[in-house]
Amino acid sequence: MTLDLTDKTVLVTGGTRGIGRAIVEAASGAGARVAFTYRSSSETANALAEQLGGAERALAIQADAGDPEQAAGAVQSVVDAWGQIDGLVVNAGITRDGLMIRMTPEDWEAVISTNLTGAFHVCKAAYRPMMKQRAGSIVTISSVVGVTGNAGQANYAASKAGLIGFTKSLARELGGRGVRANVVAPGYIKTDMTADLGENVTGHMKEQIPLKRLGQPEDIAAAVLFLLSDASTYVTGHTLHVDGGMAM
């Protein structure tokens, strides 16, 4: 079975770079009309929308994940443009790493606000249209550290662990309406977010990963595509680890 998203519309938060961009490109390649949000990279966003076929096929929407009105506006733009929202990928995320002893309340707030409260805002906005359609697939992007914890990432790990409980709750609330909600928990993936880790650190990490390599954004996009597609219509409330075996 191929993963076909023809006739579906998908909204991806944080779609201009890294994992989000790979998801946008994969969903578009599978036939979906794809909207994506970004925070600041307007030029990249507009170029990507053009590359995917312009307004008929792709929408670039500037919307800060932590702002409830902008998140709701993004969902509304998809419904206005294409009449429906079939898939929602909650991907936008940030880090503000530091050991607890040095972590400021601002570091904590910024990460929880974007990664976890941002998920609440955009899912709340998509809730009603998806319930009305009696169909939809929500995929949240957590992290291996949401499951294992990580020194220096208390804020980030808390936000990513929170996403798992949040998504399972949505799966329970929305299942009767034909709407599914699942989590993808990536391991270490080569993106801007991990670009600052030196060779020493990544070399050591590879040793800890059963598959002995860091992941690529496309590894995550493939798992998300499965969860958005009709190949997974009996899968909900699941956390799919795409981490080379790190968290088993």
If one asks whether residue 167 binds ligand NDP (CB under 6 A), the answer comes out as: no
14 annotated ligand-binding residue: yes
Name which of 37 and 236 has its Cβ closer to ligand NDP: 37
Which residue in the list 38, 127, 156, 188 is annotated as catalytic? 156
Among candidate residues 60, 53, 5, 22, the one with its CA nearest the CA of residue 38: 60
Q: Which is nearer to ligand NDP, 1 or 248 (CB)?
A: 248
**155 binding ligand NDP? (CB under 6 A):** no
> In the bound complex, what is the minimum distance in angstroms from residue 1's beta carbon to ligand NDP?
26
Q: Tell me the two tokens of residue 104.
A: 């400021």
156 is in an annotated binding site: yes
Active site residue 127: no
Residue from 3, 61, 86, 91 binding ligand NDP (CB under 6 A)? 91
Q: Does 82 sit near ligand NDP (CB under 6 A)?
A: no
- Interface residue with ligand NDP among 4, 29, 31, 41 (CB under 6 A) is 41
Contacts of 164 (CB under 8 A, 6+ apart): 142, 146, 147, 183, 185, 239
C-alpha span between 99 and 102 (Å, rounded)? 6
Subset of residues 59 to 78 that bind ligand NDP, contact rule: CB under 6 A:
64-66
CB-wise, 61 or 83, nearer to ligand NDP? 61
Cα–Cα distance for residue pair 99/212, rounded to 1 Å: 27
39 part of the interface to ligand NDP, by CB under 6 A? yes
Backbone torsions φ then ψ of 121, nearest 5 degrees: -60, -50
For position 182 contacting ligand NDP by CB under 6 A, the verdict is no
- Cβ pair 95, 17 in contact under 8 A: no
3-state helix, strand, coil in the chain (%, to 5): 50, 15, 35
Left, alpha or beta for 18 (phi > 0: left; psi -120 to 50: alpha)?
left
Phi, psi of 214 (to 5 degrees): -75, 160
Phi, then psi, of 35 in degrees rounded to 5? -110, 145
140 contacts ligand NDP (rule: CB under 6 A): no
Binding site for ligand NDP (CB under 6 A): 13-20, 37-41, 64-66, 91-94, 114, 141, 143, 186, 188-189, 191-194
Give binding residues for NADP(+) as ranges. Answer: 14-17, 91, 156-160, 189
Catalytic residues: 156
